[in-house]
Amino acid sequence: MSVLTAQPVNQFVAKDYKSDLKPIWCPGCGDFGVVQAIYRALANIGRAPHEIAFVSGIGCSSRIPGYTTAYGFNSVHGRALPIAQGIKLANPDLLVLCAGGDGDGFSIGGGHVAHVVRRNIDLTYIVMDNQIYGLTKGQLSPTSRRGLITASSALGSMEGPVNPLMYVLGYGASFVAQGTPADMAGLASIIEEAIRFPGFAFVNVQSPCVTYGQEDQLLKAQKAMMQPLASLNHDPANRLAALDLAQAYGEKLYTGVFYRNPDPPPTFEALVRLRQEQQRPLAKSRADVLNVFRLKTP
Amino acid sequence: MTTDLVIGMAGSGGDGIVSAGESLLTAAALEGYHGVLTKSFGPQIRGGESSFRLRVCTKKVLNPGGGLDIAVALNWEDFLKFGSELPVSGRTTVIYDAATGVAPDGIPVKDALPAEVLPVPIEQMARESGGGDRVKNTVVLGLMSGWVGLGREQVVAGIRKRLARKGAEVVERAEKAFAAGLAFAEAHPLRVDRTMAPPAESGAKFVVDGNDLCAAAAIVAGCEFFGGYPITPSSEIMHFLGREIWRYGGTMLQAEDEIAGIGAVVGASFAGKKAMTATSGPGMSLKTEMLGLASIAELPLVCVNVQRGGPSTGIPTKGEQSDLLQAAFSAHGDVIRPVLAAISAEDMFAVTVEAFNIAEHYQTPVIVLSDQEVGQRKETADPIDASAVRTVDRLRPSAEDLNPYVRFRFTESGISPISHPGMPGGNYLASGIEHTENGSPTAGGEMHSRMNEKRLRKFEPLKQRADLFLRAGNPNARIGLISWGSTAGAVIEAFELAAADGLDVKLLVPRLLYPVADGIFQDFLASVERGLIVEQNHQAQLYRLLRMFVDVPGGVETLAKSGSNPITPSEIVERLRRLAAAPKAETAR
């Protein structure tokens, strides 16, 4: 059963996806809102928790799989995407979610993004972007603004930030969106749409850090500045327009779907299935593989 | 007549050296001979020098042999580049292309007066056949068929098959070249007869190499996922699975890097599938963090390291056994990862299957140490009966285990039933972070101690697996011989020679290198006063590893050489003789 054909049977409600584990996040952390939005999105989709694999790396936000009732995997720093891809390829029937912070996704693990995009493996990658390293107590992150003073940049950062939206759009991703827990309903529906998208889907979430973050990034500030893309009459099928809007990352807070490819390429796992079906008749049993070593008398 | 023959040949990259060696090995295997073919190349991507050495024997052999019986040089410059890999001695018949213009008494071979030196107009015969330089190798095949007597029809049929798609004219020229070489050999018998005696047993053998056989073994063992990244000398494992795995319902992923390769394997294993990755030294260094993750999350996987010269890029095209200590210890935290090693290409089958079985049973990453020699040399193997292969699956939770499910439950064996996504009621959190029995993260010292104890205790029975050790000789012998991996091929032969010579020696070859089976080693060493541990690395890594866990007698010495420096049966026998002749060892160390 693919994600798309799954009927919303309303068999599950949001709290069915909530585990008993108490989050370690600071009170007021944006990630509380993100996990709530994920519960809601999953309830709308209606897949049973045991059919969901939720993978993360390391960081504050990467604790998130443990707060759900899905099969979770809180792995190592920066490597959530390779592990999630292995899971999806091993069992394409699973709904695979992947999540982490901006450091996990765009610094230590940044090299993996291009490849999950070009394979177009059907999984949803949610980055909780807070422009800071929280778990290690307040160092520069790849999305920190230039000049920022942090524990590791006492005299101010000398580097400009990565633009996660341009980064993923630039590699040719078919689904790129942004949300904020300042708009819970909007975030839940963006995540739901991303999960339903047949292929790799990326959601950047502006999830403020209440402990090490900047005043102008907190939920209250976000509420004031956020601007739904829908209100701009943006056509999400227009990739160039999406790139244009994505350039405003760091200055404006657009929410919603930047780009949704109306004609996405086939997923890697669909091509794998096709190849397996084409090749399967060539072998009767696993022992057949040894025939290649058998010499044929000329 | 001879029962054991080593042929070495060298020339330029375009001379078809390797394909000549493969033709001879195939012909030998079809007639039931045993053979080992090693290939060696210069560092150039294309062209440059290349060589093979082929050992053909009427009975089983596990190493490429020592000095050459027949040396073939298409030109001297390339031949000499291989130095000790193609050693010419007083028993060698040297054949070389007369076109080199060198007189038989002026060949540039130092320190040896060969048994016979014979210039042969190889280039001229190739030209006269109409095929030019491209068929020089075929002329040599004709010469070898004439002098050695390896199935002519089979070599010719092999040539036809190989060249068929290039057209009748090409085939005809090649056949002419072969016939010319054969006629030359018949007209010029060698002074030392090099004709092979009939094989001990008839019936065609398999021709295998360690990398392909490792990949095939993975499929037989039930592997459904491979993730990896190209690296010499292991890439053939990925190539093979990229051709074959689909028809068995599996998937091969060429990942973006070594870390992603093993990362996807960790994911596939979490999803319930048997999974493998393969690499060589530098890739092993990169995979280390993921191996730790698999250890703490208790996920089965197989990681093959086809060792090459190191450290860093080292010598990518040459084998070495210098990653043993890395395999055993390159992990942070208190951890055991089983390490297995194969002694030959043929042995890669059983060792790879066993690696999957151990990984699944103990829910652990298992490292398989191969090396360039085992991985890339071709050798004959007895046909493998896959129906006799025993495969093991991980312990899945019963209905009772799922009510409620506790993933890392403390059990007597230390092994807890493992579920996978898609299994109702088996939901849990896998993590690299320390966890409680049900998978919840914890920083508590007491739980950490108990989990470490569980994860280490589970390997105790593995250390009792005597079947993972090859033992031979008088159990009470005073002289002990130990070796591992590809070097064990030469050591086994040396042991047989020494025993035939009346030396009181016994042999131990571990396929399980870590955890160190201290009981098995201690038992072996109980009667040993003097011994020799033989391995292809500079630091004598197995010797040092054993000294950590086993009381190794002071009379045990090492024979350890860096990669690319052959260790031959004769030098091992020589060391054993000296050990046997030495005065009785003092008891004090």
Residues B319 and B302 in one domain: yes
All residues of chain B having their beta carbon less than 8 Å from the beta carbon of residue A94 are 271, 421-422
Read off the tokens for B227: 């993730």
Instruction: Compute the average pLDDT of residues A21-35.
Output: 97
Residues B222 and B94 in one domain: no
Residue A174 lies inside a defined structural domain of this protein: yes
Least CB–CB distance from A289: residue in B26, B220, B266: B220
CA B97 from chain center: how many Å? 33
pLDDT tens, residue by residue, B525-567: 999 999 999 999 999 999 999 999 999 999 999 999 999 888 9
Instruction: Compute the average pLDDT of residues B398-427.
Output: 98
Reply yes or no on whether the pLDDT at B587 is more than 80: no
Percent of all residues in chain A with a pLDDT value above 90, rounded to a whole number:
92
Residue B192 lies inside a defined structural domain of this protein: no
At B15, which CATH number?
3.40.920.10
Closest CA to A212 of A158, A146, A147, A131: A131
Instruction: Compute the average pLDDT of residues B354-364.
Output: 98
**CB distance B225–A289 less than 8 Å?**
no
The pLDDT value recorded for residue B583 is: 78
Q: Are residues B277 and B300 in contact, defined by beta-carbon separation less than 8 angstroms?
A: no
Residue burial B228-264, b: 16+ Cβ < 10 Å; e: rest: bbebbbbbbbbbbbbebbbbbebbbbbbbbbbbbbbb
Q: What span, in angstroms and rounded, lies between the C-alpha atoms of A294 and B145?
A: 23
A4 lies within 8 A of chain B by CB: no
Q: What span, in angstroms and rounded, lies between the C-alpha atoms of B581 and B422?
A: 66
The pLDDT value recorded for residue A298 is: 55
Assign A71 to helix, strand or coil: strand
Reply yes or no on whether the pLDDT at B157 is more than 90: no
Instruction: Compute the average pLDDT of residues B149-174.
Output: 87
Residue A3 lies inside a defined structural domain of this protein: no
Amino acid A289 reads V
| Average predicted confidence (pLDDT) for chain A | 95
All residues of chain A having their beta carbon less than 8 Å from the beta carbon of residue B440 are 21, 66
Final residue belonging to a domain, choices B337, B357, B388 = B388
Residue B587 lies inside a defined structural domain of this protein: no
Residue B589 lies inside a defined structural domain of this protein: no
Instruction: Compute the average pLDDT of residues A11-40.
Output: 97
Instruction: Compute the average pLDDT of residues B168-192.
Output: 95
Structural domain boundaries enclosing A73: 14-293
Residue A222 lies inside a defined structural domain of this protein: yes
A273 lies within 8 A of chain B by CB: no
The pLDDT value recorded for residue B41 is: 80
How many separate domains does chain B show? 4
All residues of chain A having their beta carbon less than 8 Å from the beta carbon of residue B426 are 50, 71
Reply yes or no on whether the pLDDT at A276 is more than 60: yes
Confidence of residue B589 (pLDDT cuts 50, 70, 90): very low
| Average predicted confidence (pLDDT) for chain B | 95
Q: Return the residue matching tokens 């020098």.
A: B49
All residues of chain A having their beta carbon less than 8 Å from the beta carbon of residue B158 are 298
Residue A22 lies inside a defined structural domain of this protein: yes
Residues B324 and B303 in one domain: yes
The pLDDT value recorded for residue A45 is: 97
Residue A4 lies inside a defined structural domain of this protein: no
CA A179 from chain center: how many Å? 12
Residue A8 lies inside a defined structural domain of this protein: no
Instruction: Compute the average pLDDT of residues B312-337.
Output: 96
Q: Return the residue matching tokens 């085992």.
A: B374
Residues B480 and B337 in one domain: no
What angle is formed at CA B317 by the lines to CA B230 and CA B143, rounded to 5 degrees?
120
Show which of residues 239-258 on chain B sit within 8 Å of chain A, judged by CB atoms: 244, 246-251, 253, 255-257
Q: What span, in angstroms and rounded, lies between the C-alpha atoms of B537 and B541?
A: 7
Residue B176 lies inside a defined structural domain of this protein: yes
Residue B161 Cα, gap to closest chain A Cα (Å): 8
Confidence of residue A9 (pLDDT cuts 50, 70, 90): low
Confidence of residue B76 (pLDDT cuts 50, 70, 90): very high
Q: Rg of chain B's alpha carbons, rounded to an integer? A: 26
Residues B490 and B530 in one domain: yes
Instruction: Compute the average pLDDT of residues B67-89.
Output: 92
Assign A236 to helix, strand or coil: coil
Q: Are residues A14 and A38 in contact, defined by beta-carbon separation less than 8 angstroms?
A: no
pLDDT tens, residue by residue, A80-136: 999 999 999 999 999 999 999 999 999 999 999 999 999 999 999 999 999 999 999
pLDDT tens, residue by residue, B248-265: 999 999 999 999 999 999
List alpha helices for B188-300, DSSP H: 210-221, 235-244, 258-270, 281-296
Residue B169 Cα, gap to closest chain A Cα (Å): 20
The pLDDT value recorded for residue B585 is: 55
Which residues have C-beta within 8 Å of that of residue B476, sequence separation ≥ 6?
A: B527
**CB distance B271–A91 less than 8 Å?**
yes
Residues B383 and B399 in one domain: no
All residues of chain A having their beta carbon less than 8 Å from the beta carbon of residue B265 are 86
Q: Are residues A70 and A97 in contact, defined by beta-carbon separation less than 8 angstroms?
A: yes
Residue B316 lies inside a defined structural domain of this protein: yes
Final residue belonging to a domain, choices B464, B484, B501 = B464
All residues of chain B having their beta carbon less than 8 Å from the beta carbon of residue A295 are 26, 29-30, 204-207
The pLDDT value recorded for residue B588 is: 42
Residues B409 and B504 in one domain: no
Show which of residues 94-153 on chain A sit within 8 Å of chain B, judged by CB atoms: 94, 111-112, 114-115
Residues B8 and B107 in one domain: yes
Structural domain boundaries enclosing B266: 207-388
Instruction: Compute the average pLDDT of residues A141-162.
Output: 97
pLDDT tens, residue by residue, A53-68: 999 999 999 999 999 9
Assign B156 to helix, strand or coil: helix
pLDDT tens, residue by residue, B496-512: 999 999 999 999 999 99
Residues B115 and B222 in one domain: no
Q: What span, in angstroms and rounded, lies between the C-alpha atoms of A157 and A214?
A: 14
Residue A55 lies inside a defined structural domain of this protein: yes
Residues B250 and B215 in one domain: yes
Confidence of residue A297 (pLDDT cuts 50, 70, 90): low
Residues B436 and B493 in one domain: no
The pLDDT value recorded for residue A1 is: 39
The pLDDT value recorded for residue B153 is: 85
How many separate domains does chain A show? 1
Show which of residues 350-409 on chain B sit within 8 Å of chain A, judged by CB atoms: 381, 383-384, 386-387
ipTM of the shown complex: 0.96
At A36, which CATH number?
3.40.50.970
Residue B193 lies inside a defined structural domain of this protein: no
Q: Are residues B353 and B391 in contact, defined by beta-carbon separation less than 8 angstroms?
A: yes
Percent of all residues in chain B with a pLDDT value above 90, rounded to a whole number:
88
Residues B365 and B421 in one domain: no
Residue B124 lies inside a defined structural domain of this protein: yes
Residue A119 lies inside a defined structural domain of this protein: yes
